[in-house]
Structure 1
Amino acid sequence: MRLTALPAFADNYIWALVDSEGRAIVVDPGDAAPVLAAAAQQNWAPHTILLTHHHDDHIGGVAALQARYPGLEVVAPADPRIPHATRRIGEGEQVQALGLEIDVVSVPGHTRSHIAFHTAEHLFSGDALFSLGCGRMFEGTPPQLLASLQKLASLPPHLLLCCGHEYTVSNAVFARHVDPANAALARRQEEALAMRRDERPTLPVSLASELECNPFLRTDTLEIRAAVSAHLGRPVTDEVDVLAGLRGWKDGFRT
């Protein structure tokens, strides 16, 4: 399977996994135009659409793709705000598409019904997990977000993280502010800067790298606990407190 990142809007990625017969699994097509253009240029057609959550920049192109490709399967979480789904799916279920077994993980926090998909090689995390960051809590709670991130962190470390936005460079600035002595993080920041200078995506990236570098996956470490305590001006009480403090810090962070 060939993985392609299709840029959309200012910083979104639509992901396509294309097989040798020119059939594609498309993840979070917020805009139909990049999908239609890539399909025409590269001679493939969507077979299955996977949707992680209801935000329009992730689902906005579905209706146009269904009109262009009748019978297209659209797999989505059980959320009425996603109107075009042909199948609703949740925690522990599996999608079979193009010979792949795709597992579903419920990851509320960014939204209450957010899900992620993973194959044996790739993790499609939507806006639940970014490289060096995570999504804002628009609908979830800190305990929900922590549990979701812990689920993703427990997946096989060789998985390649394919998230919904190109936020790595900006996330790196905050991550280095929180965790300045992390040598792996410093290397990842330099790598990301070089990729963007060359107009290349910073994704996918291995989950193993994120476990070393992403402060939101390291809330159990002494370094992150100490940084959040210093920021809050009080000792943190537990890992939920660390994550809530870290997420609030990031929300208000300005360089």
Structure 2
Amino acid sequence: MKVTYVKAFNDNYIWVWESAGRAVVVDPGEAVNVVAYLKAEGLALEAILLTHKHDDHIGGVEDMLAEYPGTPIYGPSEVASLTTTQVADGDTFDLLGQTVKVMKTAGHTEEHVSFLTSESWLFCGDALFSAGCGRVFTGDYAAAYEGLQKLRTLDDAVTVFAGHEYTATNLRFALSLDRLSNGVEDLLHKTLREVEALTAKGEASLPTTIARERGINFFMMADSLDEFIQLRQKRDNF
């Protein structure tokens, strides 16, 4: 059992969760490279998970269904036209021998969800990035903050599969803040060097872990809604 990624567009990751010749695809913004990967690996498509409605996360669904008709699709109400099973906060379902829990992590979009498996894998779309979080396109900062607070309570060992390669920029933003202790600044510099080495080789900086994010992600660590809003607005202008 493993999770791998297929790159899409400039910086998207489409995650492929594999077990015993079957696969679950998360947020297929495009289909061509995903279908090619599934066929090359001899994987049967078990299901598709959708975290939210943005086209770079759902744009490949129809082409995926053309190749794999009848595939079950799980997602929130904002993508109801694409789903066979609409999910909401607190729902659970079983896939590939794991139980999947649905967590509402809105703010980026109105009904954005994240999926947490019993293997402690978190597929969080654009709610949480390494050292960052998604833009609050809804303007509902309280919902975005609440979602991050839910994720903040997860076990350290949870592995985080986010939707974009934004880690280096997020770390540079964190280093621009005037709130750094020496220990935190050293950790951010060390992490940035590691991330730059990976991406220079064309490799992903993801996945990350909740434990790692506790040390480098100021959005997750924000102790109040006001603090979160200030950080998010600064990041928007960075």
TM-score range, shorter chain: over 0.9
Give the aligned partner of residue 85 of structure 1. 83
Give the aligned partner of residue 58 of structure 2. 59
Correspondence list, 1:150-165, <5 A: 150-165=149-164
In the alignment of these two chains, the number of paired residues is 233
Distance in 2, Cα, partners of 1:243 & 1:123 = 22
Task: Please tell me whether the aligned partners of residues 80 and 86 of structure 2 are also in contact (alpha carbons under 8 angstroms).
Answer: no
Give the aligned partner of residue 16 of structure 1. 16
Amino acid across the alignment from 1:205: T
Give the aligned partner of residue 33 of structure 2. 34
Give the aligned partner of residue 202 of structure 2. 199
Does 2:234 correspond to 1:246?
A: no
- For 2:53, what is the secondary structure of its paired residue? coil
Structure 1 residue 140, shift from structure 2 partner: 4.2
Q: What TM-score results when the alignment is normalised by the length of structure 1? A: 0.88
Distance in 2, Cα, partners of 1:163 & 1:215 = 16
- For 2:156, what is the secondary structure of its paired residue? coil
Structure 1 residue 129, shift from structure 2 partner: 0.4
Question: C-alpha offsets along residues 163-210 of structure 1, whole Å, 9 cap, x if unaligned?
Answer: 000111111110111254313222211111111112110000111000
Distance in 1, Cα, partners of 2:225 & 2:210 = 22
Q: What TM-score results when the alignment is normalised by the length of structure 2? A: 0.95
Task: Please tell me whether the aligned partners of residues 90 and 102 of structure 2 are also in contact (alpha carbons under 8 angstroms).
Answer: yes
Correspondence list, 1:103-252, <5 A: 103-119=101-117, 120-178=119-177, 179-180=179-180, 181=182, 182=184, 183-220=186-223, 239-252=224-237
Distance in 2, Cα, partners of 1:205 & 1:34 = 23
RMSD: 1.2
- For 1:92, what is the secondary structure of its paired residue? coil
Distance in 2, Cα, partners of 1:62 & 1:165 = 18
Bigger drift between 160-169 and 183-192 goes to 183-192
Distance in 1, Cα, partners of 2:214 & 2:134 = 16
Larger radius of gyration: 1
Structure 2: 5+ residue runs without aligned partners? Answer: none
Task: Please tell me whether the aligned partners of residues 16 and 27 of structure 1 are also in contact (alpha carbons under 8 angstroms).
Answer: yes
Task: Please tell me whether the aligned partners of residues 91 and 104 of structure 1 are also in contact (alpha carbons under 8 angstroms).
Answer: yes
Structure 1 residue 82, shift from structure 2 partner: 4.6
Task: Please tell me whether the aligned partners of residues 59 and 82 of structure 1 are also in contact (alpha carbons under 8 angstroms).
Answer: no
Task: Please tell me whether the aligned partners of residues 131 and 163 of structure 1 are also in contact (alpha carbons under 8 angstroms).
Answer: yes
- State the percentage of identical aligned residues: 39
Amino acid across the alignment from 1:100: Q
Give the aligned partner of residue 100 of structure 2. 102
Closer, same or farther: CA 25–194 of 1 in aligned 2, 3 Å: same
Question: C-alpha offsets along residues 213-252 of structure 1, whole Å, 9 cap, x if unaligned?
Answer: 11101212xxxxxxxxxxxxxxxxxx11111111000101
Amino acid across the alignment from 1:29: P
